[in-house]
Amino acid sequence: MTTTANLKDVAKIAGVSVSTVSRALNGKSCVNEETKKRIMDAVEQTNYRPNIISKSLKMGKSNTICLLVSTIQNPIFAEITQGVEDTARKSGYIVVLCNTDEDEAIEREYIENMKTRWVDGFIICSAVNSSQYIKRLRGEGFPVVMVNRFDKEDEKNVDTVGVDNYQAAYDATRYLIQTGHRRIALGCGSEELYLYRERYRGYREALEDAGISYDDGLVMRETYSQECFYQLTKKLMSAGDPPDAIFALSDPIAFRIMHALHDMNLNIPNDIAVIGFDNVELSSMVEPPLTTVSQPLYDLGCAAAKSLIRQIQHKDRCGELPTPVNSVLGTSLILRRSTR
Amino acid sequence: MTTTANLKDVAKIAGVSVSTVSRALNGKSCVNEETKKRIMDAVEQTNYRPNIISKSLKMGKSNTICLLVSTIQNPIFAEITQGVEDTARKSGYIVVLCNTDEDEAIEREYIENMKTRWVDGFIICSAVNSSQYIKRLRGEGFPVVMVNRFDKEDEKNVDTVGVDNYQAAYDATRYLIQTGHRRIALGCGSEELYLYRERYRGYREALEDAGISYDDGLVMRETYSQECFYQLTKKLMSAGDPPDAIFALSDPIAFRIMHALHDMNLNIPNDIAVIGFDNVELSSMVEPPLTTVSQPLYDLGCAAAKSLIRQIQHKDRCGELPTPVNSVLGTSLILRRSTR
DNA sequence: ATGAAAGCGCTAACAG
DNA sequence: CTGTTAGCGCTTTCAT
């Protein structure tokens, strides 16, 4: 490797001291225009690039943020990630991607590892049962923001960015009721997650407010992987008194349900309506295009990054973290052909 | 921030010197079992964690690799990324994710930035016209591996991991011909990319070998974004003498084409067959499930990471990069209901 | 087996 | 405006 030039090399060539070069390059304090030019020439000549590692060591700051997702293959996290990364890049931060695969052990291992690398903060949308752990992380002085996946109590402890899952699910369910559906099934995500419990609650309350009695037999719960929604749907649809609509609590769940429905030769929306949640890119392209609750995923990512950077800057200035802020972004129901 | 303990703190408590602590922790040279125990106690007591930044500075090695993709929202890159990350994590590396958005300027900015952070190597699957640039990157001593997106000439210069795009496309086209199709349209990706040129060539040669004359009017080329395949398909299908099959050179392209076909009330595969390329997760779930060329995307990612780590280790040992290796992984045609 | 000391490349007082 | 100096936390000769 052609060993890269350092400040000392530049200083020697420019005939000044390293500190002058450092000052000239960082532009904090003033440097004579004349010498500055000589320095710039030397920089050019040596093809000097600052060594960020040593800078990080000196400054106690790495301009790096850590993003934890359960899996980047889930388009929901991919879109959030894009928002995080765009925003981070524009502010001079790079992002380390950590897939935890829903595994608490991997999540913790990653966090511990990243702590030793002096990352400036964490954006977490992988947490399953980590409230206490993450609270402690902030207690150690690390800026943290949780996106989408967080419990009610996390809102007191750290920055959060999300949507009103209860209201969005309530509205989606009410829409189905208003368009004449009475037996509305639910494709329910893991109830370990607060966000799914909230959506579930929205569904139940919309039913109740419309005077429709809740039927637990209409609720499909994934047991192992999402793959089983295919089976669950087939079973539900072939039992007596099948539903006339299904509310899937995420688009990926909706895709699996639609797959089963197609395989049973059922027509969507004539035999059964389907509504999703997320509005990932593909939901407009499947057949029929999916009616779904639109979450501003990219914007959630941007908001999370901004939130984190705000905390980092506050900490740089004041030495301590600002009080937590909880952001709630808006959702909307996108009507397409999977409902009538 | 509760200021973290360092080697010196541990040394003081254990009543030894920093170098002894360092040795005890790294286990390279021998340390008395007795003192080692005292040190471990002190580590426990102070909750010591090594500072990787300073270690990186000292060692000239950051245990970090840089992954460049055009956009993580493309499921193809998401799956490759998962493979890269899993493999990297298991070997103690972390990965910095860089979305270049097909923008050469961003790509270069990222690479220059990452060079200053002493990343140990680059995995690149974003490159459009960067052969010379990337060759130089390796020339500067950086381990590089290109995945999927690379030119023929790159194979001489850097490690590559990919599939035999020509043969896979040839086989897919031949399959369509063998099942009775004669007017086979093409949904062609950007011809700036070698991989698409290769697939295109496979299509043409399969046609030629079957005695079917090539018709340029059957080739849909995206002009700006992939979105326009929707329009292109509608136009092609409503013109005189429409095709009886379409070979989409990527699954995302296939999804857009199928969307248009559905909107025209055409039945797949009865009115027209569709075949894709990639076998992303969703291709089995769309309606009808998509016949497609399966690329081992996750494995490509794993192979790329292994290839890079091999280079890094070789360089650590011998001081220079090993000669480039070009890996070709196998593909297979997955038959589903979008073809007869 | 252990300690002292040099130094990775950079920034930031402190003097001048 | 500029140079000297002291580290950031760690590894690694070189002595002992």
Q: Which nucleotide is nearest to B20 (CA to C1')?
A: C2
Using the Cβ of B288 and the Cβ atoms of chain A, whether some distance falls under 8 Å is answered with yes
Helix (H, G, I), strand (E, B) or coil at A189: coil
pLDDT of residue A227: 60
Q: What mean pLDDT value characterizes chain A? A: 94
B262/A73 CB distance under 8 A = no
Taking CA–CA distances from A251, the nearest residue in chain B reads B282
Using the Cβ of B225 and the Cβ atoms of chain A, whether some distance falls under 8 Å is answered with no
pLDDT of residue B3: 67
Using the Cβ of B271 and the Cβ atoms of chain A, whether some distance falls under 8 Å is answered with no
**Alpha carbon distance A272, A237 (integer Å):** 10
| CA A277 and chain centroid, separation | 15
Beta-bridge partners for A97: A67, B95
**Alpha carbon distance B62, B271 (integer Å):** 56
Average pLDDT per block of 10 residues along chain B, 340 residues long: 80 93 87 91 93 94 96 96 98 97 94 94 90 92 96 96 98 98 96 96 98 96 77 94 97 96 96 97 94 98 98 92 97 97
Q: What is the pLDDT of residues A88-122, one digit of tens each?
A: 999 999 999 999 999 999 999 999 999 999 999 99
pLDDT of residue A2: 54
B73/A75 CB distance under 8 A = yes
pLDDT of residue B204: 98
CB neighbours of residue B186 within 10 Å:
26
Residue A225 — very low, low, confident or very high, per pLDDT cuts 50/70/90?
low
pLDDT of residue A314: 94
Does the CB of B17 sit below 7 A from strand C?
A: yes
Q: Which among B79, B140, B284 is the nearest to A2, CB-wise?
A: B140
Q: What is the pLDDT of residues A12-71, one digit of tens each?
A: 999 999 999 999 998 877 788 889 999 999 999 999 999 999 999 999 999 999 999 999
Domains of chain B: 7-50 (1.10.260.40), 61-162+298-330 (3.40.50.2300), 165-296 (3.40.50.2300)
Helix (H, G, I), strand (E, B) or coil at B103: coil
Q: Which nucleotide is nearest to A34 (CA to C1')?
A: D1
Long-range contacts of B221-230 (CB under 8 A, 24+ apart): B221/B188, B221/B191, B222/B188, B222/B189, B222/B190, B222/B253, B226/B252, B226/B253, B226/B256, B227/B256, B229/B187, B229/B253, B229/B256, B229/B257, B229/B260, B230/B256, B230/B257, B230/B259, B230/B260
Alpha carbon separation from A200 to A193, A215, A274 (Å, rounded)? 11, 13, 16
Q: What is the pLDDT of residues A145-177, one digit of tens each?
A: 999 999 999 999 999 999 999 999 999 999 999
Using the Cβ of A114 and the Cβ atoms of chain B, whether some distance falls under 8 Å is answered with yes
**Alpha carbon distance B101, B99 (integer Å):** 6
Is A325's pLDDT higher than 70?
yes
Q: What angle do CA A232, A235, A240 make, to 5 degrees?
A: 135
B94/A98 CB distance under 8 A = yes
Cis check for the bond before B269: say yes or no (omega within 30 of 0).
yes
Q: What angle do CA B246, B252, B258 make, to 5 degrees?
A: 45
Q: What element of type H or E holds B248?
A: strand B245-248
Using the Cβ of B49 and the Cβ atoms of chain A, whether some distance falls under 8 Å is answered with yes
pLDDT of residue B130: 84
Which has more confidence, A222 or B234?
Answer: B234
pLDDT of residue A193: 94
DSSP structure string for A253-314: HHHHHHHHHHHTT--TTTT-EEEEEE--GGGGTSSSPPEEEEP-HHHHHHHHHHHHHHHHHH
pLDDT of residue A226: 57
Report pTM. 0.95
Tokens encoding B320: 């220079």
Does the CB of B16 sit below 7 A from strand C?
A: yes
CB neighbours of residue A95 within 10 Å:
23
| CA A290 and chain centroid, separation | 22
Q: What is the pLDDT of residues A250-283, one digit of tens each?
A: 999 999 999 999 999 999 999 999 999 999 999 9
**Alpha carbon distance A98, A100 (integer Å):** 6
Q: Which residues of A194-211 are buried (b: 16+ CB within 10 A; e: fewer)?
A: bbbbbbbebbbbbbeeee
Helices (H), A50-161: 52-59, 75-90, 104-116, 131-139, 154-157
Contact between residue B104 and residue B111 where contact means Cβ atoms under 8 Å apart? no
Tokens encoding B212: 């079917």
Tokens encoding A161: 């960015």
